[in-house]
Structures are given as structure tokens and as C-alpha cells.
Structure 1
Amino acid sequence: MAGASLLTLLDDIATVLDDVAVMSKVAAKKTAGVLGDDLALNAQQVSGVAAEREIPVVWAVAKGSFRNKLILVPAALVISAFAPWLIMPALLLGGLFLCFEGSEKVLEKLFHSEPKKEPVEALEEINKLTIEEYEKTKIKGAIRTDFILSAEIIVIALGTVQGQQTVTQVIVVSLIATIMTAGVYGLVAGIVKLDDLGFYLERKSQGKGLLSILGSVLVAFAPKLMKGLTVVGTAAMFLVGGGIVVHNVPFIHHWVEPIIMKLPDLTLVNALVPALLNGAIGVVAGLVVVGAIEVIHRVRGK
């Protein structure tokens, strides 16, 4: 009897693990799109700190991301079990916040750009903030943005395991949250240290040979990559936020869906047009939120 019970238990465990493997693969595919946006946003958020402090800042944001997951995963599972109707409104608010942040960045760049300062003036202004305060500001902003993207990843992962056993849901969502966090911040750490790798290769090769050329390319490429990620990160706010708005506001979804359904059966078109629509809707949503907040501030006399 005991042997039979043990075999039954082992069979149940094997079944759960098999379900976890299958569902984790499905969830990973569905959340891969958000991973690219998460990477661009977080690499952009931690740029601008001193070279020797880049890894500590990335590690601080990564720890904050893990804390976000420790809050979001249990909360999502509990809400899914007892109040599933709350998930989409919360996700929508997060999407609107991303659109708002993106719009603020664009408007600030277009209409509130400060005149170019001389190096001495710029240095004096930077010195008004201590390095510690500057890093804390960067870290808080990155963790805040990560919270919203993490929520979307978890909701997407949770959607793939609806109807599965509770144990399977817990394992799959926790596994996806852990893998995504480790993957994103591992890549972010690699991106922000590209220039240091370039300098190392130049020193090691003493300015000669293929390593020296590769090092020079990395040194020249790293600043351009970081500037590019700033643009990509802002665009990602509109793409991700707009996508959340499209999928959670019925009348917008019903307006967009027929357009997508009429697209020709071409891979590039089917990938590009929905993204552009999401981005455009994200821009509009962000401007609406910015306008609403501006009206509120004026009414309150601020």
C-alpha cells in the first residue's frame, strides 16, 4: 500500500513538472515581446551614472525588480483566484502611466529644452546633487517603470496558465518572473559595460591587431547604443502602454481589430502595423493624461 501511494505521488509530481515545462515554454514565448521593451527601458533608465558605479546601480535596480516580483506574483495569484476582474483595470492604469511618462519625456525634449551650457556651468549644476542622490533618483525611476512592465509580464504569464492546477500556476508564474528578471538585468549589465570592454581590449592589444580594432569599435559604438536606447526606451513606453490600452479598452480594441484583420498575409506587415497602431494610440493616450493632469493642476492653482 505504501509503495503504491509513493508511486502515485511520484506520478502526480511528474505530471505537474511536465505541465510546468509545457506552460513555461508557452508563457516565455508570449512574454518575449515585453522582454525587448523591458530591456530597452531599463538600459536607458540606468544610463548616465559614473562608469565605476554602473554595475552597483544595475544590481540595485535588479534587487528592486525582484522585490517587485515578490509583491506582484502573490498579488496576481490571489487576485486571479478571488477577484480576477481587478487585474485588467490595474494593468490599464499601468499602461496609461507608461504613456504619460513617455509623453512627458517627449514634451520636455520638444518644448522645455534648456540652452546648452558651458562645461563649467554644467559641472556646477551636476555638483548640486550628490552622487548618492543622483543614483537614488535613477534607481527609483527604473524600479517604478520595472513595476509596470513586471505586472504586464506576470499577467501575460498568468493568462497562459488559467485553468491549470494551482501548483502549476504558482510554479510557472514564479519561474517566468525569475527568468525574465535575471535575463533583463544580465543583458543591461552587459550593455552598460560595453565601453569598458572596449577599453580593456585596446589596452590588452596595445593598439595592435584585431583586438585593438574591435576595442575601438566597441568604445565608439557604446555611447551611440546608449543614445539609441534612450529613443527606443521612450518608444517602448508608447508601444507597451498603447498595447495595454488597446487590449483593455473595448471600443479601441474593436476599432483596431478589423484593421489588423484586413492586413495582407505578410510577416513584416503583420508585425509592423499593429506595433505602429499601438504606438500611435499610446501617444494619444499619454497626451490625454498629460492634458488631464495639467487641467487638474490649473484648477488647484498649481
Structure 2
Amino acid sequence: MPSGFFALLDDISALVKVSAASLDDVPAQVAKTTGKVSGIVIDDTAVTPKYVVGLDPSRELSIIFRIAKKSLINKLLILSPAALLLGYFAPWAITPILMVGGAYLCFEGYEKVHSMLSPHHEAEAEGDELTAITPEELEQQRVAGAVRTDIILSAEIMAIAYSQVTGQPIVNQIAVMLAVAVFITVAVYGFVGLIVKMDDIGVHLAREGNGPATQKLGRGIVKFMPRFLSILSYVGTAAMLWVGAEIIAHGIPFTAHLLHELEHALAGVPALAWLAKVVACALFGLAVGFVVEKIVGLVKKVWPGKKEVPAA
């Protein structure tokens, strides 16, 4: 009996050592995955600040925290398990699901471009809606809109994370996906929180009692932030079209081949190859968004529902 007990302890010790050695690879896999999803992370970071523009400044961090919390819950409790289950039972379903999400991003991006090109009409429509709801309802709609967009981007992030650990032990797969979910959520929404509060930081630095250089820096931040947020809004719209279209393009052999050929043709100038791919994807995204918008318009005519107030 004692010998059997010690043999069991030896087996457990060996299993723990193997698991520990396997988990040593997790940081490297997380770093690799983070690099792979950098474009999506930029998109998420650029898109989110617009959901708090025009709302009570004292509620900005609270709203961002609510979005971040929902994003993390979605990644940990829905998207990661879904990716693992689909990858095991129905790997063929992952690409079509992501393509639907990509189409949604293209639709969102197209709507933003359309509103930029016809600001008067959109402003009047938004003004009419704003008079019909309370600030609390507007906040709820903004949060809901941000979470809808985030879940598409998060699904792509988790799908890429899963693609980096296929063939790895299940413990590694779970560890990497959970680490990616937490790290990217904290990084994205931490940076978003810093962005939206930079004007308050600038006001604090510009107060009397600080040194002249500090005050000048504070005033510069206050003056620059509205322009920066405007630029970030354009970047976010372009990124939505780019990321959404690239998801769709990679799911269609013909368009995936065209993108590969475009990058190969300009491989001698990497920056130009990247720019050409982004422009091509953005234009393709506009076309997809236009088609989806027409389909959504027809559906709304058949099943009219409550309209939402768009983000500023």
C-alpha cells in the first residue's frame, strides 16, 4: 500500500511538471497572438471613444468601465468557450460566423461615412431623436451600441487567439485565450479611458500654481484633444471598414487570392503594400456596407422597430 501511494505521488508530480513546462509557452503565445490582432486592437481603441462624446463628462469613465466589463465577460464566458467548442466540433463554422461579423462592421463604417457626407440630414435626424429620450436612455443606447461593435471585434480576436493554439494541449489553449482576453481588454479600455480624460488632465496642468511650462503643456493638451478625438473618429471609421472587409475577404478564396497577389506585387515596398491593402479593403468595405445598408433598410420597412440614437 505505501509503495502504491508513493507511486501515485510520483505520477502526480510528473503530470504537474509536464503541465508547468507546457504553460511556459503561454507568454510567448500570448505575445504572438497580440501581434496578430494589432489591427483589430487599433480599431477597437479608435472606435470606442466616440460612444462617450456628447455625454456627461462625469459619466465617461463609468461608461467605459461598463463597456469594458461587458467586453471581458463576453470574451471569457461566451467567445472563448464558443471558439473552443466550434474549433473542436464544427471548425468549418468559424469563418462564416466571422464573415457575418465583418459585414456588420462594414455596415457600421458605411453609415459613419454616409453621415460625414450628409451631415445636415443626419444632424436633423439625430436632433429629433435626442428630444425624445432621457440622458439615461441615451447612455444605455450608447453602451449597447459599443458592446455590439466590440463583440464583433472581440470574436475576431478570440478566433485568431484560437488559431494560434490549435494542436496545443487543452490547458494551453484555455490559458492563452483567457490571458489574451484579459490583457487586450485592460490595454484597450485603459488607453481609451486615458484618451477621454486627457482634457481633464490638461485643465489640471493648466491651473494657477503650476509652473509656466506645465501650464503651457496643459493648455496645449486642452486645445489638441478635440482635434485628436476628431482624427480618432475618422481613424476608427476607416479601421471598421478595413477590418470588416479583410475578415470577409479572407473568407472568400477569390478575394483572399487578390489580396495576396496585391501584397506580393508590392512586397519590395512593405509600407506601400500595407497601404494598398488597407485602401483596397476600405473600398471593398464601403461596397459591402452599402449592400448591407440597403438590406437593413428593406428589413426595417417590413418590421419597423424603435430607432437608436447613433454615436456622435
TM > 0.5: yes
Of 92, 96, 100, the residue aligned with 1:89 is 96
- What is the correspondence of 1:1-302 to structure 2 with a 5 Å cutoff? 1-2=7-8, 4-69=10-75, 70-111=77-118, 113-114=120-121, 126=130, 128-203=132-207, 205=209, 208-296=211-299
For residues 192-221 of structure 1, the C-alpha deviation after alignment (integer angstroms, 9 at most, x for no partner) is: 000000111111545x51110010011111
> Which moves more between the two structures, 4-13 or 69-78?
4-13
Contact 1:205 1:211 in 2 (8 A): no
Q: Is the 8 A contact 1:199 1:215 kept in 2?
A: yes
Q: 1:261 to 1:14 in 2, by over 3 A?
A: same
In 1, are the aligned partners of 2:74 and 2:151 still within 8 Å (CA)? yes
1:47–1:226 Cα contact (<8 Å) kept: no
Measure the CA separation in 1 of the matches of 2:295 and 2:147.
Answer: 25
CA distance in structure 1 between the partners assigned to 2:122 and 2:79 by the alignment: 42
State percent identity of aligned pairs: 37
Q: Which moved more, 1:183-192 or 1:62-71?
A: 62-71
SS in structure 2 at match of 1:108:
helix
278-287 or 250-259: bigger deviation: 250-259
Deviations 1:123-162 (A, max 9, x none): 9985643221111111111111000000010001111111
Contact 2:106 2:288 in 1 (8 A): yes
Q: 2: CA distance between counterparts of 1:123 and 1:254?
A: 45
Provide the aligned C-alpha RMSD in A. 2.4
Gaps (5+ residues) in structure 1? none
How far apart, CA to CA, are the structure 2 residues paired with 1:7 and 1:17? 15
Query: 1:199, 1:219 within 8 Å by CA — same for their partners in 2?
Result: yes
Does the 8 A contact of 1:76 with 1:154 survive in 2?
yes
Q: How many residues align?
A: 297
Q: Alignment partner of 1:203: what SS?
A: coil
**Equivalent pair of 1:27/1:156 in contact (CA under 8 Å):** yes
